[in-house]
Structure 1
Amino acid sequence: MKPRSAIIRRGGPSTTTVVAVLVLVLFAGAVGFGVYRAGAAAGALPAGATAEGVAVGDPDAPVTIDLYLDFQCPACAQYERQAGATIDELVASGRARVVYHPVAYLNRFSSTDYSSRSSAAAGCAADAGVLPRFAQLLFAHQPPEGGAGLPDDQLVALGAQAGAGPDFAACVQEGRYAGWSRSVTDAASRAGITATPTVLVDGREVERTAEALRAAAAAG
């Protein structure tokens, strides 16, 4: 009969194996908790959104465009005028999907935290399925820096013009996605985004022109 110690060594896991399993379990738990914390910090999420932004277009499109925008940012409004039609064309053709990251970097240029309010309202527009059009209207009616920004009732009116349904007004007025706006802004900051607009095509920053965007999308 074999010694008991020999049987234990053959049938039981080694100390090294047990430690490795524990490390994997702890790592998986930490990752899961990190995902949970990110979702919890964002609060309620708009339709089709993550804690970092909202994707629009075919999820299987070969190219992903990340747009980091602040609705208080004059350069963002200029980019919309230059490249907005190109973005719409790339999405409509199925060539690209766009992830909108409506950050709130420029609250200091508004007496009513307009960057945050318009970012949260963009979440309401995502719920209504009209985010691209709503973003275009926000830039077309962009208030001057240093003022109060657009009041909520005007945000509601622009949402209606974009085609949002009856729940849009309550969503804006109650600030339903204020937490999500903070999450999107924090995520952008952690990702090293320091200026708006910032445009990434498949993770690589491109110049802020329609020509550069089209060329990068074609190469993707």
Structure 2
Amino acid sequence: MRSARERLKQQREQDRTREKRRRVLVVSAAVVGVLGLAAVVGVIAAAGGGKESSDKAGPVVPPAGALGGDKPAIPQGRPDAPSTLAVWEDFRCPACAQFESVMRASVHQLVASGALKAEYHLATLIDANLGGSGSLRAANAAACAQDAGKFTAYHDVLYTNQPPETNDAYAKNAKLIELAAKVPGLDTPAFRSCVEEGAHDAWVKKSQEAFKKSDFNGTPTVMLNGQSIFPQKGGEQISPENLKKWVAEANKGKKPGTASPAAGSPGR
């Protein structure tokens, strides 16, 4: 009897160890009106994580117009917009694609109206958890699109064409260049060279380091004016309607931004 209890205890300990090593999926039921999202899935970084890419990167070269400091980001929208949406994302992350598919139109509308500016922080969490380099390669390509003033359009193309999480298709520069053809005017020699040379690899890795130091739980991490809103804000689940309501509340008595929008922003 004692031996059976010991075996059971050992099995439970082994199960707990395996649980710490795997990715955890956190599913949050969310009501999103006519778009009908039944669940939003957040990918949580496993304890200890996986091994980061050890490829040496050159000097840190920010994409055009990027925000510096300890949390590098690609800004979109009018710089004087009264509210800021910060999105920490990974182009291999299926939860990020789910978030984008539901919230994209509302975010674009708010950004174009000057009510909101967006700051995209690029992470490589899936590369660390599953291995491969698709997160890094796609993030570099997105930064190259920012150089061309076409970040938003290419960002959306990457998510609408996202391969299965375990398929590291974005590790191939040829695939990323192929997708650039879906954005008018992006597939140029300059863009191809930027992608092939990994011009912004070191900058992306700096952004990933910022993600790790920020102690976030996973991607996507979405914050409105510094307050977490994904998967919920207080007791309210995120949805297109709630995002518009939260921004309206935050902007009460404030004028929309009127400065020239950042390159590649919706409506530019």
Shorter chain as normaliser: what TM range? Answer: 0.7 to 0.9
Contact kept in structure 2, 1:67 and 1:100, CA below 8 Å: yes
Contiguous gaps of at least 5 residues in structure 1: 1-40
Larger radius of gyration: 1
Query: Match of 2:125, SS?
Result: coil
Q: By how many angstroms is 1:209 displaced?
A: 2.9
Q: By how many angstroms is 1:42 displaced?
A: 6.7
1:48 aligned partner: 65
Query: Match of 1:161, SS?
Result: coil
Query: Match of 2:182, SS?
Result: helix
Greater strand content = 2
1:188 aligned partner: 211
2:124 aligned partner: 104
* Of 59-68 and 110-119, the range deviating more from structure 2: 110-119
Query: With structure 2 as the length reference, what TM-score do the two structures score?
Result: 0.63
Q: By how many angstroms is 1:101 displaced?
A: 0.8
* Of 126-135 and 204-213, the range deviating more from structure 2: 204-213
Whether 1:219 and 2:242 are equivalent positions in the alignment is no
Whether 1:85 and 2:105 are equivalent positions in the alignment is yes
What stretches of structure 1 move > 3 A for 4+ residues in a row? Answer: 108-112
Q: Once the two structures are aligned, what percentage of the paired residues are identical?
A: 33
Query: With structure 1 as the length reference, what TM-score do the two structures score?
Result: 0.76
1:123 aligned partner: 143
CA–CA distance in 1 between the matches of 2:168 and 2:88? 22
Count of aligned positions = 180
CA–CA distance in 2 between the matches of 1:187 and 1:50? 13
Q: By how many angstroms is 1:156 displaced?
A: 1.1
Contact kept in structure 2, 1:43 and 1:177, CA below 8 Å: yes
Contact kept in structure 2, 1:112 and 1:149, CA below 8 Å: no
- CA-based RMSD of the aligned residues comes to 1.7
Where does 1:16-31 land on structure 2 (aligned, <5 Å)? none
Q: By how many angstroms is 1:157 displaced?
A: 2.1
Q: By how many angstroms is 1:140 displaced?
A: 0.9
Q: Deviations over 1:183-209 (max 9, x none)?
A: 111112222222111111100011243
* Alpha-carbon spacing, 1:142–1:73, altered in 2? closer, same or farther (3 Å): same
1:22 aligned partner: none
CA–CA distance in 2 between the matches of 1:42 and 1:96? 32
Query: Match of 1:162, SS?
Result: coil
* Alpha-carbon spacing, 1:67–1:183, altered in 2? closer, same or farther (3 Å): same
